[in-house]
Amino acid sequence: MNRLPKHIAIIMDGNGRWAKKQNQPRVFGHKNGVKSVREVSEAAAELGVEYLTLYAFSTENWSRPKLEVSALMSLLVETIRKEVSTLMENNIRLKAIGDLGKLPDRTLEALREGIEITQNNSRMTLILALNYSARWEILAAAKKLHWDATKGLDTEKLTEEIFSQYLTTHDIPDPELLVRTSGEQRISNFLLWQIAYTELYFTETFWPDFRKKDLYEAIINFQNRERRFGKISEQLA
């Protein structure tokens, strides 16, 4: 328990293939992925993980068939509305990162409501990455910085810590562990700045099959690694 990651990020992948495997439409996979979200949020909170970030929709996902995109947006509204009570019971605070202003009004409204209702919860923060992409985030940070520079900010004195303050994750520590389900081994434009030293864990399990025990396995795998941060083993003892 003393080597528990404070922040776990998850790329929830494989919903479509999970559905296809059983001759169902892709949306069936997304619907079944909600149970995994509930299980994993609960498991993380029970363990004492402080931050859990879930990649739910990337800026690239707008390129999917219209029907799938609108089904995902409706599912989000439905899920947030339905799960607010579970979040309250588990003392979980909801947050979101991404280009939220471009989400459909109904989705944004449900999201804002969920965030407001749960704002004083303190056991764990659940962060949904929605219309998120890391390059969008870094570029947006650069634009804000440029603006502040015209207002007198001394960019010569810029540090990594200050730059981090311009990211949507400014109040969230970097994840120690990043999990991706479904067997794909790529980052897909997720948290590029923040995962500089994150441990990566890939599992073949499709997201709708991901349960508490799968999260425990990922954490145990993480705990058996040596995080050297550029040093050598002998220096870590």
Catalytic site positions: 13, 61
**Number of residues in contact with ligand IPE under rule CB under 6 A:** 19
Number of other residues whose CB lies within 10 A of the CB of residue 173: 13
The yes or no reply on residue 133 touching ligand IPE (CB under 6 A) is no
Q: How far is the CB of 165 from Mg ion (least distance, A)?
A: 32
The yes or no reply on residue 215 touching ligand IPE (CB under 6 A) is no
Residue 58 binds which of ligand IPE, Mg ion, none (CB < 5-8 A, kind-dependent): ligand IPE
SS3 57: strand
Cα gap 32→28, rounded to integer Å: 6
Helix/strand/coil percent split, the chain, to 5: 50, 15, 35
Tokens linked to 172: 């969230």
Options 14, 98, 114, 175; binder of ligand IPE; rule CB under 6 A: 14
CA 175 remoteness from chain centre: 10
Cα gap 9→178, rounded to integer Å: 5
Detail the DSSP E strand segments found in 70-161.
Answer: 92-97, 124-132
Number of other residues whose CB lies within 10 A of the CB of residue 180: 23
Residue placing its CB nearer to ligand IPE in the complex, 121 or 182: 182
Residue placing its CB nearer to Mg ion in the complex, 13 or 83: 13
The yes or no reply on residue 35 touching ligand IPE (CB under 6 A) is no
Q: Which stretch binds ligand IPE (CB under 6 A): 9-17, 37-45, 90-98, 212-220?
A: 9-17
Rg from Cα positions in the chain: 18
What kind and span of H or E run contains 53?
Answer: strand 51-58
> Residue type at 227?
R
Cα gap 149→133, rounded to integer Å: 24
Q: How far is the CB of 218 from Mg ion (least distance, A)?
A: 18
Residue placing its CB nearer to Mg ion in the complex, 13 or 137: 13
With contact defined as beta carbons under 8 Å apart, do 53 and 175 qualify? Answer: yes
Residue 107 binds which of Mg ion, ligand IPE, none (CB < 5-8 A, kind-dependent): none
Q: Lay out the site mask for ligand IPE across 146-185 (x = CB under 6 A, - = otherwise).
A: ------------------------------------x-x-
Q: How far is the CB of 57 from ligand IPE (least distance, A)?
A: 5
Q: How far is the CB of 20 from ligand IPE (least distance, A)?
A: 7
Q: How far is the CB of 24 from ligand IPE (least distance, A)?
A: 12
Interface residues toward ligand IPE, by CB under 6 A: 11-17, 55-58, 60-61, 72, 182, 184, 186, 188, 207
